[in-house]
C-alpha cells in the first residue's frame, strides 16, 4: 500500500501539470521544480533515513514517513501559489524518504530465501507498475470532477489505511550493530543534487554562461566532491562506497537510474503534449497513458522469472529492456502537432515492456548483492538511484524542451511591442501562450497559438532524442559491465535478527 501510494503520486502529478499551469499560472521552470523539489529531498534523505530505520527499527521510521507524507499531501492540496506548492512537495519528499527504504528492507528481512525474495521483489516492482497505471486514470477522474488539489488530497486516506495495516501486520526489524547517522553526508548530497538541478532547470531562463548558473554548477561540483571525500573518510558513511566495487551492484544501480530518467522525463513531456497539443481532458490523458503502465505491470514479474532461468540470465533481460525503451523514445521523437494518439501506441508498448524488463531484475541484483544487515542502506541506495534518475530526467529533458521553446518564441516576439508581463507569460509555458492567444483577435492570435504548439513539439522531439541516446548508450555499457549471474558469495542471504518484542528478553 505504501509503495502504491508513492508510485501513484509520481504519475498522478504529471496529469495535473496542465491544470496547475492554468490555475496557479506556473511557468515551465516552476513545473519542473514542483516535480523535482520532491525528488531532491527524497533522494537526499533516503540513505540517512534508511540507515536510521536500520538503527531504531524499520517499522517505526516507516510509520513516521507515512504520517509525514499524509501531512505534506494535505499541505500541497491547499497551496495557493507555485512557490507554496514547491515547499509542500519538499515536505512530501521527507515522508517518502522514510517510507521507501523501509519497503524493501522490511521485505528483504521477511523473505530471506533467494527464490522467495526474487518473487517478492517481482511483486514489489509490479506494484510500482500498478501505481503508474492507476495514477494517471485516478488523477484524470479527480481533475475532471474536482480541483487540482484533489490529486494530492487522495493520498491522505491511503496513508491512513497503510498506517493501520502496518501497526497490525508488519514485524519490526533492525540491524543489531547499526552505524551512526551521517547527517553531514545527507546535507552535502542534498546541496549537491539541489544546486545541480537548479542550474539545469534555470539555465534556459538565465543562460548557461550567466554568473548564477556557473556559480551553482561550481558549487554543486564542490558539494558532490566533498560528499565523496567525506564518505570515504568516516567509519559510518551514509553511502558505503565499497558497494560500488561490486559490478553487479553498480551496473544495476546505473541501469535503474537511467530507466527512470527516461520514464519520468517522458511522462513529464507526454502529459503536456496530450492535453495542450492534442486537446485531451485530464481523464482522457490518464486513460491514454495507461497502456505503458499496464504492459509494465505484466512485464515486471515475468522479467524476474526470465532472469533466473539457466538459459538466459540477468544481463540479456536488462539490456533488452533498455534497448526497447530507446527504440520507443526514438519513435516518439517523430511525432508532430498533427499526430494522432494511435500513432503513439507502438512506442508506448515498447517503453512499458522495456521498463518492466529492466527494473525488476536490476532491483533484485542490487538487493541480492548485499547482506541482510545492509538491507536498509542498500534499499535506500536503490531508491536514491531511482529518484536521482527521475529528477534528472525531468530536469534535463524539460530544460531541452524549454530552451528550444523559449528560443523559438523569443524570435517570434522580437520587434513586437507587448508588456513585459505578457511576454513572460508567453515565454513561460505553452499553456501561458495559449491563454494569451485566446485574447488576441484574428490572425495574430492564431499565429501565436500555432507557433507555440510547433515550438513545444519540436523541443519535445529534441528532448526525446536526448533520452533515447542516453538510455541506448547506457544499455550498451550495462551489456559490458553487468554480470549475467550472481556470484557464489551472493547466494547465501541470511537475514538479520529481528529486534525482540518490547518488554521481552531475546533468547
Mapped to the 3 state alphabet, what secondary structure does 38-70 carry?
A: HHHHHHHHHHHHHHHHHHHCHHHHHHHHHHHHH
Residue 372's pLDDT band, with cuts at 50, 70 and 90, is low
Query: Structural domain boundaries of the chain?
Result: 2-172+238-408+453-487, 182-237
Convert 448-470 to b/e letters by CB count within 10 Å (16 or more is b). bbebbbebbbbbbbbbbbbbbeb
CATH for 2-172+238-408+453-487 is 1.20.1250.20
DSSP string, 91-148: HHHHHHHHHHHHHHHHHHHH--SHHHHHHHHHHHHHHHHHHHHHHHHHHHHHHHHS-T
From residue 181, alpha-carbon distances to 11, 49, 52, 104, 223 in Å are 32, 8, 6, 19, 19
Q: Which of 45, 44, 34 is nearest to 9 (CA)?
A: 34
Mean pLDDT over 346-371 rounds to: 85
Q: Is there a contact between 287 and 139 (Cβ–Cβ < 8 Å)?
A: no
pLDDT at residue 373, rounded to an integer: 66
- Its pTM surpasses 0.85: no
Q: Does residue 491 register a pLDDT over 60?
A: no
Q: What is the mean pLDDT of the chain?
A: 84
Q: Does residue 349 register a pLDDT over 60?
A: yes
Tell me the percentage of the chain whose pLDDT exceeds 90: 29
Mean pLDDT over 63-71 rounds to: 94
Mean pLDDT over 86-91 rounds to: 93
Amino acid at each position: 500500500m505504501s509503495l502504491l501510494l508513492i508510485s501513484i503520486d509520481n504519475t498522478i502529478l504529471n496529469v495535473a501539470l496542465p491544470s496547475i499551469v492554468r490555475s496557479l499560472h506556473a511557468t515551465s521552470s516552476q513545473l519542473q521544480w514542483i516535480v523535482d523539489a520532491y525528488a531532491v529531498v527524497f533522494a537526499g534523505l533516503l540513505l540517512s533515513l534508511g540507515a536510521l530505520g536500520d538503527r531504531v527499527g524499520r517499522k517505526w521510521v516507516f510509520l513516521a514517513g507515512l504520517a509525514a507524507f499524509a501531512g505534506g499531501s494535505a499541505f500541497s492540496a491547499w497551496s495557493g501559489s507555485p512557490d507554496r506548492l514547491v515547499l509542500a512537495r519538499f515536505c512530501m519528499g521527507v515522508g517518502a524518504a522514510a517510507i521507501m527504504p523501509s519497503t524493501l528492507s522490511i521485505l528483504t528481512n521477511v523473505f530471506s530465501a533467494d527464490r522467495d525474495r526474487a518473487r517478492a521483489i517481482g511483486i514489489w516492482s509490479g506494484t510500482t507498475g500498478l501505481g503508474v497505471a492507476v495514477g494517471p486514470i485516478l488523477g484524470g477522474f479527480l481533475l475532471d470532477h474536482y480541483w487540482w488539489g484533489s490529486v494530492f488530497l487522495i493520498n491522505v486516506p491511503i496513508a491512513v489505511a497503510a498506517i493501520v495495516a502496518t501497526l497490525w501486520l508488519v514485524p519490526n526489524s533492525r540491524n543489531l550493530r547499526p552505524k551512526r547517522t551521517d547527517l553531514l553526508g545527507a546535507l552535502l548530497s542534498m546541496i549537491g543534487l539541489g544546486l545541480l538541478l537548479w542550474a539545469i532547470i534555470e539555465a534556459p531562463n538565465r543562460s548557461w554562461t550567466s554568473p548564477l548558473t556557473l556559480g551553482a554548477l561550481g558549487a554543486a561540483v564542490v558539494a558532490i566532491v566533498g560528499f565523496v571525500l567525506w564518505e570515504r573518510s568516516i567509519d559510518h558513511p551514509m553511502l558505503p562506497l565499497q558497494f560500488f566495487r561490486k559490478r553487479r551492484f553498480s551496473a544495476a544501480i546505473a541501469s535503474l537510474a537511467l530507466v527512470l530518467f527516461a520514464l519520468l522525463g517522458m511522462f513529464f513531456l507526454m502529459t503536456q503534449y496530450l492535453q495542450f497539443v492534442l486537446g485531451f481532458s485530464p481523464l482522457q490523458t490518464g486513460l491514454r497513458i495507461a497502456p505503458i503502465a499496464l504492459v509494465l505491470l505484466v512485464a515486471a514479474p515475468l522479467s524476474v522469472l526470465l532472469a533466473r532461468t539457466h538459459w538466459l540470465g540477468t544481463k540479456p533481460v536488462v539490456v533488452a529492456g533498455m534497448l526497447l525503451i530507446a527504440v520507443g523514445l526514438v519513435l516518439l521523437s517523430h511525432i508532430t502537432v498533427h499526430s494522432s494518439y494511435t500513432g503513439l501506441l507502438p512506442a508506448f508498448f515498447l517503453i512499458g515492456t522495456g521498463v518492466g524488463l529492466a527494473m525488476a531484475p536490476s532491483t533484485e541484483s542490487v538487493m541480492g548483492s548485499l547482506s541482510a544487515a545492509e538491507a536498509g542502506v542498500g534499499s535506500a541506495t536503490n531508491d536514491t538511484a531511482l529518484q536521482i534518475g527521475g529528477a534528472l530526467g525531468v530536469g534535463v529533458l524539460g530544460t531541452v524542451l524549454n530552451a528550444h521553446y523559449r528560443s523559438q518564441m523569443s524570435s517570434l516576439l522580437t520587434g513586437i511591442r507587448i508588456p513585459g508581463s505578457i511576454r513572460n507569460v508567453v515565454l513561460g509555458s505553452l499553456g501561458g501562450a495559449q491563454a494569451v492567444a485566446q485574447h488576441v483577435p484574428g490572425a495574430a492570435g492564431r499565429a501565436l497559438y500555432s507557433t507555440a504548439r510547433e515550438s513545444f513539439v519540436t523541443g519535445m522531439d529534441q528532448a526525446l532524442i536526448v533520452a533515447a541516446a542516453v538510455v541506448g548508450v547506457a544499455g550498451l555499457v550495462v551489456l559490458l559491465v553487468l554480470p549475467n549471474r550472481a556470484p557464489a558469495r551472493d547466494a547465501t542471504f541470511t537475514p538479520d535478527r529481528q529486534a525482540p518484542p518490547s518488554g521481552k528478553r531475546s533468547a
